[in-house]
């Protein structure tokens, strides 16, 4: 099913060809509804290229353009913009077609990909914290949208389960562990022994050396140390799984860094043999002398003491994703500080001959009310599990104030949907590179661009049908007369234009802001138009339009990983 934007763009392209003009400019939704629904700057672009008057060119193009089945006669505005206003009967026809379309007009991608999406990536022996929100919910939303568009998606949680910190953890486990505390709160106890060991190591060279020896034994496969490491990993995975269940996020594979250990020597040998890497001051490095931004930033893939590092593991990870998982596209969702690292990794992959499309999808940070990185009062990272529990508690308090008659079981369910949805939406409604201030009051508000506002719009729609006591009617066509219902139907038709745009620059905020505008359009319609008290066939048409609005809201929020309650 073609969208209005596609239909108009195709007709406009034909008109350009008839006028002997090349394709130019873009046909986009109008930035100001006073000038119509769509507009193009093609005449301005061509005028500048050809040294001709844009308005004259616009009139020449329009002479060969017939869009009478879709639009009112197009107009030329300003210096040469061409504006299009959709006909209400065309909108009614298109929206009517969406009533029975579960995809609401969203076409599957013409060329599908096998995409590995790397997101989340917490570290073992530490609780997930507030800083993990952005990668986790952004990656999940992109995975949902890519899957909906027909791509084959592999969700990979690349867990940090190996590294120098385990020397300290194992030393602390053997010398400082409190077994009762471990049973009561495993991760808190593991963090405690790590911190205490670290403090001792700073002031005591013997402790520092003992930690190094524990790490060496772990890397050599010592059974006792491997068993301790396995316990730490298991405790961490239990905590991660709890958080992911709360967030309704799943992974297809969870390959920790340790998964790639036995592949690392071969990676170094291969890069040396191919000449991509070279030995420098005892270390094995890859230099990027031909890339100005990286010329003085070599990538070390084996340290001078023979140890491997994150870069070695990431090169092995690229091998696995391309050769074993057969991916042709790899998206890595992490913070902006890792831009340099992944630029190096992707350049090494290119030099090795990998043709896959590698993308590092970066994001900004979450700030506290003081506009600094969000921390606890003691300066620690805010545990994510505690933050999500707090979101649910605050949401439940709101429910108890507004609807105390709801059953306890329903309160738990609704509070979770509202609280978790609020946290996710607060993040996804921002441009991903923007740092934003975390505010409970703002994100849980029933007013403004928030998840509760959108969820409440859906609940309001469902309440219409609870009040009527009947399901959404089956109608042959929509009857659109009031400007507010015409505008709402137009907004619904835009869903199919918006969803594919999200992946152009990995911006779920485009979808979030569309859903906010859709909810606004519904509320305007609901205030202006009587639904249940209208006479037929207007009543049936408006009920069908309400149902369609609710289903598009629900589907759009689901693509962002946000659930809707049936009541609030």
pLDDT at 220: 85
pLDDT at 382: 84
pLDDT band at 175 (very low <50, low <70, confident <90, very high): very high
Give the structural domain span for 32: 4-86
- 97-130 confidence digits (pLDDT tens): 999 999 999 999 999 999 999 999 999 988 898 9
**Last residue in a domain, options 247, 267, 290:** 247
CA angle 523, 528, 532 (to 5 degrees): 90
| Six token digits for residue 481 | 């007369």
Kindly state whether residue 185 falls inside one of the protein's structural domains. yes
C-alpha span between 423 and 446 (Å, rounded): 14
What percent of the chain lies above the pLDDT cut of 90? Answer: 88
**428 with 522, same domain?**
yes
pLDDT at 376: 59
Task: Determine contact, residues 192/184, Cβ cutoff 8 Å.
Answer: no
Q: Is the pLDDT of residue 1 over 90?
A: no
CA angle 467, 105, 511 (to 5 degrees): 80
User: What's the whole-number mean pLDDT along residues 385-411?
Assistant: 91
User: What's the whole-number mean pLDDT along residues 354-364?
Assistant: 96
pLDDT at 567: 87
- What CATH number is given to the structural domain containing 535? 1.10.730.10
pLDDT at 390: 94
User: What's the whole-number mean pLDDT along residues 398-424?
Assistant: 92
Q: Is the pLDDT of residue 379 over 70?
A: no
pLDDT at 378: 58
Kindly state whether residue 144 falls inside one of the protein's structural domains. no
C-alpha span between 447 and 419 (Å, rounded): 15
Kindly state whether residue 100 falls inside one of the protein's structural domains. no
433 C-beta neighbours (distance < 10 Å), count:
12
Q: What are phi and psi of 366, to 5 degrees?
A: -100, 130
| Six token digits for residue 36 | 């119509």
DSSP string of 252-296, one letter each residue: SB---GGGGGGGHHHHHHHHHHHTSSEEETTEEEE--TTSGGGTT
**398 with 530, same domain?**
yes
**419 with 546, same domain?**
yes
Q: Is the pLDDT of residue 139 over 80?
A: yes
C-alpha span between 268 and 227 (Å, rounded): 28
**50 with 182, same domain?**
no
Kindly state whether residue 235 falls inside one of the protein's structural domains. yes
**81 with 177, same domain?**
no
379 C-beta neighbours (distance < 10 Å), count:
6
**59 with 203, same domain?**
no
**551 with 460, same domain?**
yes
Maximum distance among all Cα pairs of the chain, rounded to whole angstroms? 87
Cα Rg for the chain, rounded, in angstroms?
28
Task: Determine contact, residues 55/76, Cβ cutoff 8 Å.
Answer: yes
Nearest to 252 by CA among 150, 119, 129: 119
**436 with 527, same domain?**
yes
- What CATH number is given to the structural domain containing 66? 3.30.1360.70
| Six token digits for residue 376 | 């606890």
Kindly state whether residue 122 falls inside one of the protein's structural domains. no
Q: Is the pLDDT of residue 52 over 80?
A: yes
**Last residue in a domain, options 247, 266, 299:** 247
Task: Determine contact, residues 63/16, Cβ cutoff 8 Å.
Answer: no
**52 with 201, same domain?**
no
C-alpha span between 120 and 247 (Å, rounded): 12
**Last residue in a domain, options 39, 70, 86:** 86
Kindly state whether residue 319 falls inside one of the protein's structural domains. no
pLDDT at 31: 84
Q: Is the pLDDT of residue 491 over 80?
A: yes
CA distances (Å), origin 417, targets 241, 437, 457, 557? 18, 22, 14, 11
Domain count, the chain: 3
566 C-beta neighbours (distance < 10 Å), count:
13
pLDDT at 402: 85
Kindly state whether residue 155 falls inside one of the protein's structural domains. no
Q: Is the pLDDT of residue 196 over 90?
A: yes
Rounded to a whole number, what is the distance in angstroms from the first to the last CA of the chain? 35
Q: Which residues contact 236 (CB under 8 A, 6 or more apart)?
A: 122, 124, 125, 126, 161, 187, 190
Q: Which residues contact 224 (CB under 8 A, 6 or more apart)?
A: 217
**52 with 184, same domain?**
no
Kindly state whether residue 492 falls inside one of the protein's structural domains. yes
Average pLDDT value for the chain: 94
pLDDT at 460: 95
User: What's the whole-number mean pLDDT along residues 264-273?
Assistant: 96
In three-state form (DSSP H/G/I as H, E/B as E, the rest C), the secondary structure along 422-488 is: HHHHHHHCCCCCCCEECCHHHHCCCCCCCHHHHHHHHHHHHHHHHHHCCCCCCCCCCCCCCHHHHHH
**67 with 170, same domain?**
no
**58 with 206, same domain?**
no
C-alpha span between 102 and 106 (Å, rounded): 9
pLDDT band at 366 (very low <50, low <70, confident <90, very high): very high
């Amino acid at each position: 099913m073609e969208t209005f934007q596609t239909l108009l763009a195709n007709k406009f392209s034909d008109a350009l060809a008839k006028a002997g003009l090349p394709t130019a400019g873009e046909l986009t939704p109008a930035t100001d509804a006073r000038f119509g629904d769509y507009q193009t700057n093609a005449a301005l672009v061509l005028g500048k290229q050809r040294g001709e008057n844009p308005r004259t060119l616009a009139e020449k193009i329009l002479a060969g353009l017939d869009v009478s089945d879709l639009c009112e006669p197009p107009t030329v505005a300003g210096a040469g913009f061409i504006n299009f206003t959709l006909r209400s009967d065309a909108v009614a026809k298109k929206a009517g077609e969406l009533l029975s379309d579960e995809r609401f007009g969203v076409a599957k991608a013409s060329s599908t990909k096998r995409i590995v999406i790397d997101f989340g990536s917490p570290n073992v022996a530490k609780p997930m914290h507030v800083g993990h929100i952005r990668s986790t919910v952004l990656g999940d939303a992109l995975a949902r949208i890519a899957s909906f568009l027909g791509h084959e998606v592999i969700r990979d949680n690349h867990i940090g389960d190996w590294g120098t910190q385990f020397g300290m953890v194992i030393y602390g486990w053997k010398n400082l562990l409190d077994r009762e505390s471990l049973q009561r709160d495993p991760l808190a106890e593991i963090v405690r022994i790590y911190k205490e060991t670290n403090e001792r190591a700073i002031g005591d060279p013997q402790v520092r050396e003992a930690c190094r020896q524990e790490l060496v034994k772990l890397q050599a496969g010592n059974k006792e140390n491997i068993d301790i490491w396995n316990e730490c990993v298991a405790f961490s995975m239990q905590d991660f799984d709890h958080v992911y269940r709360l967030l309704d996020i799943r992974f297809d594979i969870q390959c920790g860094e340790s998964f790639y250990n036995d592949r690392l020597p071969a990676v170094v040998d291969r890069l040396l043999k191919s000449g991509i890497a070279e030995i420098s001051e005892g270390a094995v490095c890859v230099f990027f002398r031909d890339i100005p931004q990286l010329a003085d930033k070599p990538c070390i893939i084996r340290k001078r003491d023979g140890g491997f590092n994150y870069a070695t593991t990431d090169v092995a990870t690229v091998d696995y994703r391309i050769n074993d998982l057969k991916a042709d596209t790899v998206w890595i969702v992490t913070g902006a500080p890792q831009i340099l690292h992944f630029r190096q990794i992707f350049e090494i992959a290119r030099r090795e001959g990998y043709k896959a499309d590698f993308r590092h999808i970066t994001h900004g940070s979450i700030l506290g009310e003081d506009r600094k990185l969000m921390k606890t009062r003691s300066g620690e990272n805010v545990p994510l599990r505690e933050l999500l529990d707090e979101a649910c508690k605050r949401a439940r308090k709101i429910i108890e104030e507004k609807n105390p008659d709801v059953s306890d079981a329903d309160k738990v369910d609704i509070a979770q949907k509202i609280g978790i949805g609020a946290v996710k939406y607060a993040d996804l409604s921002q441009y991903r590179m923007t740092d934003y201030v975390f505010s409970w009051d703002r994100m849980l508000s029933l007013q403004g661009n928030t998840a509760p506002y959108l969820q409440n719009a859906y609940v309001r729609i469902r309440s219409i049908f609870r009040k009527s006591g009947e399901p959404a009617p089956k109608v042959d066509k929509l009857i659109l007369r009031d400007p507010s219902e015409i505008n709402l139907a137009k907004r619904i038709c835009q869903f199919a234009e918006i969803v594919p745009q999200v992946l152009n620059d990995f911006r779920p905020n485009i979808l979030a802001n569309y859903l906010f505008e859709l909810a606004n359009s519904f509320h305007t319609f609901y205030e202006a138009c009587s639904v249940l008290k209208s006479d037929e066939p207007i009543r049936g048409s408006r009920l069908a339009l309400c149902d369609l609005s609710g289903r598009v809201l629900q589907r759009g929020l689901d693509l962002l990983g946000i659930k809707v309650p049936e009541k609030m």
